Amino acid sequence: MSQQTLPTRTAPGNVRPGAPAREAPPHRPGLALAIVLTCQLMLILDATVMNVALPRIQSDLGFTAAGLSWVMTAYSLTFGGLLLLGGRIGDIFGRRRAFVAGVALFTAASLVGGFATSATWLIAARLAQGVGAALAGPNTIALVTTTFTETKARIRALALLSGIASAGFAIGLILGGILTQAASWRWVLFVNVPFGIAAVLLAPRFVREPERHPARLDIPGALTATAGVAALVAGFTRAAEEGWSDPWTATLLGGGVLLVAGFLAIEARTRQPMLPLRLFADRNRAAAYAIFLLGPAAMMSMFFFLTQFLQDLRGFDALRTGVAFLPMAAAMFVLTRAMPRILPKFGPRRLALTGIPVMIAGLLWTTQLTASTAYFPGVFGPMLLMGLGMGLGFVPLTPTIMANVPAQDAGAAGGAMQTMQQTGASLGLAVLVTVFGTASRHAASSGSSTLDATIHGMTTAFTVAAGFAAIALLVATTFRKR
């Protein structure tokens, strides 16, 4: 398949000779950052905000137990699979324009999803949300890097953006619990609408459009990347439902591996790739990308399985479940605020080598859960450790990745970062749901009660999640010492 050549557009700051100049938005970087951060939080929230509402969604719309994971996976899959394409579209057509268009689509899909009357309807809306998020997400990072050019200001802005991206997962659970309990699970989607409309109206007024760069849209790369990740997630999800002996499971997983390999081959020989492999030439950036893949794969177990543990086994309602994640969100918020001071002092290597072991300790603690485990300290403790570990280990990664990225690659670099995060989350959840299903079925066939089999499946999934984090720790040792 050949690449499609797109016409070069002119940025507001680079008007063609003889064309009337358009007045640039007033330079208010603080307000521009607030708009971008609010939208980034909104996009990240929707990766987990549905978690605490899952029991009610399952009851109202008739989801199967395994199919219920698609409420989260449908969003993270399209979000992660199309991020690289969204970043490149922003580079070509204008990052602010792509950002506004993505937020508009995300907002419209949220409104439609809130009125869903069937499982298919809701999943279709979640897929559309993911497409909008993929268009807006990578351009939030590119807009920040072009708005803040002074080093300290850029580190501060990127640390805030990274903190929002990490803490947003936990904040989503808290907000989801409040809205589900106070109103309905539908308001978990409706709440996006006013914020999305405000961003669409305010961004053209206060966020400046960076210079555009002539390029080609890498259609073959976009298709193979998205299809490959989708096939892998579908394969793991089918294994959870049908087992590893199912022929479709092997077909999907094998096809996914081949498609991802094909994507890398295309990117290596394409003149203007969607994912420039030169981004991985910097050792620190390559390590940060790998940790962004492995970290979310590990922490999704906390959000998905602990939500079910608290609601189904400990009898928490939606509000109590959401508030239960407050220690994790608070720890990450505190570290996010401190990161602009401690990152230049200690560097990403020391912070990652400190934070990831704390995260592993939290995951290993959850492997000791039983049906009688009380919230304090049996759940509170692991959540606090996870919040501290993720704050130290992951918040520094965004400034590390975006440091010294050429302007023409800012969208691609930001898209690659969020691709790793969302792909790790969707693949990690698919793998862990498969591990949970296999372990719980094995325990049930060995004579364990349904309750004991469920607990065994969860603790086995937490053990595998700790393994993901351990690999991330090994990767962190490759950061340069200075």
What's 317's domain CATH number?
A: 1.20.1250.20
| Residue 264 sits in the same domain as residue 290 | no
Q: Which is it for the CA torsion 31, 36, 42, 47, positive or negative?
A: negative
Predicted confidence at residue 166, as pLDDT, reads: 66
Residues 256-285 have a mean pLDDT of 89
pLDDT recorded at residue 20 = 43
Which helix (H) or strand (E) is 11 found in, with range?
none
Residues with Cβ within 8 Å of residue 449, at least 6 apart in sequence: none
The strand pairing partners of 216, in sequence order, are 5
Same domain, 90 and 226: no
Q: Are 193 and 222 members of one domain?
A: no
Do 186 and 234 share a domain, yes or no? Answer: no
Picking from 252, 273, 294, the residue at the C-terminal end of a domain is: 273
Question: Does 31 score more than 80 pLDDT?
Answer: yes
Is 211 domain-assigned? no
Q: Is the peptide bond before 377 cis (omega within 30 degrees of 0)?
A: yes
> Are the beta carbons of 91 and 219 closer than 8 angstroms?
no
Whether residue 166 lies inside any domain: the answer is yes
Domain that holds residue 311: 26-205+282-476
Asked whether residue 250 falls in the same domain as residue 180, the answer is no
Q: Output 359 or 245, whichever has higher pLDDT.
A: 359
Is residue 212 in a domain?
no
150/234 same-domain check: no
Asked if residue 318 is part of any domain, the answer here is: yes
One domain for residues 225 and 301: no
> Are residue 293 and residue 164 in the same domain, yes or no?
yes
| Residue percentage of the chain with pLDDT more than 90 | 33
Domain end, chosen from 273, 301, 319, is at 273
Considering the domain architecture, whether residues 162 and 55 belong to the same structural domain is answered as: yes
Does some domain include residue 117?
Answer: yes
Alpha carbon separation from 357 to 222, 339, 386, 401 (Å, rounded): 35, 18, 10, 21
244 and 187 assigned to the same domain: no
Entry field: residues in the chain: 482
Specify whether 95 is located in the same domain as 244.
Answer: no
Q: How far apart are CA 50 and CA 68, in angstroms?
A: 11
pTM, entire model? 0.78
pLDDT band at 16 (very low <50, low <70, confident <90, very high): very low
**Long-range own/partner contacts, residues 186-191 (CB < 8 A, 24 or more apart):** 186/114, 186/115, 186/116, 187/114, 188/49, 188/50, 188/53, 189/110, 189/111, 189/113, 189/114, 189/125, 190/110, 190/111, 190/114
Are 241 and 294 in the same domain?
no
Q: Total domain count for the chain?
A: 2
In this prediction, residue 171 carries a pLDDT of 80
Is residue 446 a part of any domain in this protein? yes
pLDDT tens string 387-396: 999 889 887 8
pLDDT given at position 24: 55
Domain contains 121: yes
Task: Examine residue 200 and state whether it is found in any structural domain, yes or no.
Answer: yes
